[in-house]
Structure formats: structure tokens, C-alpha cells
Chain A
Amino acid sequence: EIVLTQSPGTLSLSPGERATLSCRASQSVSSNYLAWYQQKPGQAPRLLIYGASSRATGIPDRFSGSGSGTDFTLTISRLEPEDFALYYCQQYGSSLYTFGQGTKLEIK
């Protein structure tokens, strides 16, 4: 089973700032099958990024994903008030998909 470790656990920033979230895998993620999700309280998760760097439909271009192998990054270029939420990475390159433990992005 591939273990995903997200850092930091909590990120405190202000609107307009740049956010950088990290996801590290315990072994190489096949075909860079790495996704990022956003979740707000009481809501289902929403897919942001798939294939490490492709934005899902309707996702603003301030969200970008990068990385390969074992190290991946989600960047939000300029934070909007609605971006403060929980973020999870997920690998789906092995038969057992796994999620990271999440990063909470909170308003400073």
C-alpha cells in the first residue's frame, strides 16, 4: 500500500497570498496518477487536479498541480476567501487507492 504524507497539517495564510501544499508518497506513483481534492464542511469532496497537473472541469486557473514520482505539490496562486478548506491528495496508480491525511488551509 502506498502511504501519502501531506504537509503541513495546517497552513495559515491571508487572502491574496500564495499557498503551497505538499504530498509525498512512500513509493513512486504509477503514471503520476495523483489527484487533489478540496472539501468544505458538510460537503462532499471536489476534484481539483488529476494526473498530477491537469485541472478538472470548472476549476479556476489559480489552482495548479505539479510533481512526479514521489513528490507532488498543489499551488494556489492567489488565495480567494472560498479557498479556505481541507485539501487531500490521492494516488490511484495502484490497485489500492490511498488518500493523504489532509491539509487544513485556514485564514490567518
Chain B
Amino acid sequence: EVQLVESGGGLIQPGGSLRLSCAASGFTVISNYMSWVRQAPGKGLEWVSVIYSAGSPHYADSVKGRFIISTDNSKNTLYLQMNSLRGEDTAVYYCARGFPHFYWGQGTLVTVSS
């Protein structure tokens, strides 16, 4: 059974850093398109980033240069390193598998506030 479990969210001050994790089971992350999608409170979905072993990662313009997507194959886990966080980064962050997103995690809330 495919499962995606995000963790690492929380309250962080503006300018701070946070790393989100997405533990996968039932498949191998390295063989799949893996993405991060976020949703600000009461707002729509915003695609953030995608990684696939065969190519370079891609990022939305809103996070490019600040966020880094990566995988740890030994842990079968997807990560999102978020630096220079801003208030507008406050959102539930979902990891998703596939092209497009056939499977989703339950999400982890990131709140950027002083």
C-alpha cells in the first residue's frame, strides 16, 4: 500500500529555516516523480517543486533560490529544505507522488510568524 507521511512543520520566525520530510512506503521515491504542493489557509493549491531521478529539480518562481528539494534513497524519504522563510510561506505542505499527483500525504502545517 502506498503511503506518504509528512513531518517537520511548525512555527518559525521570518528569515528562519525549516526542513520538511515525507516518508514513503509501498514504492521507491527515486523511481518516481515526487513533488511538494502547498496550500495557504483558506486559499487554493500552489505547486512548489518536483524532483525526478532522471532530471534536474524544478521550482515555482515564488520559492526558487530559497527552497531545495531532495531525496534520501536509503530512507526512502523526500525532503524540502526551506530557507529565508516569509509570512507568505505559511501553508499546509503536501508531498505527492506521480506525474501528475496520484498519491498525496496528509500534509504538515508551516506557520511563519514572529
A interface residues, Cβ below 8 angstroms from B:
1, 33, 35, 37, 39, 44-47, 50, 56, 88, 90, 92, 95-102
CB-nearest residue of chain A to B48 = A97
Q: Which residues of A contact B101 (CB under 8 A)?
A: 35, 37, 45, 47, 90
Q: Chain A nearest CB: distance from B92 CB in Å? A: 9
Tell me which residues across on chain A come within 8 A of B50, comparing CB atoms.
97
B102 near A44: Cβ-Cβ < 8 Å: no
Docked-complex contact B58 and A96, CB < 8 angstroms: yes
Chain B, residue nearest A35 (CB): B100
Q: Contacts A1-B61, A33-B100, A47-B100: A101 and B44 contacting too (C-beta < 8 A)?
A: yes
Interface size class of B (residues with CB under 8 A): 20 to 34
What's the A-B contact tally at a CB cutoff of 8 Å?
A: 52
- Report if B11 contacts A (CB, 8 A): no
B100 contacts A92, CB within 8 Å? yes
Can you list 17 pairs linking A and B with CB atoms under 8 Å apart? A1-B61, A35-B100, A44-B94, A44-B107, A45-B37, A46-B104, A47-B101, A56-B102, A88-B45, A90-B45, A90-B100, A90-B101, A96-B60, A97-B47, A98-B47, A99-B37, A102-B45
| A76–chain B nearest beta-carbon distance, Å | 19
Q: Which residues of B contact A (CB under 8 A)?
A: 35, 37, 44-47, 50, 58, 60-61, 94, 98-102, 104-107
| Contacting pair A99 B45 (CB below 8 A) | yes
Q: Write the nearest CB–CB distance from B105 to chain A, whole angstroms.
A: 7
CB atoms of B105 and A44 under 8 A apart: yes
Report, nearest first, the 9 A-B pairs whose CB atoms are least far apart.
A44-B104, A35-B100, A97-B47, A99-B45, A102-B44, A95-B58, A92-B100, A101-B44, A50-B100
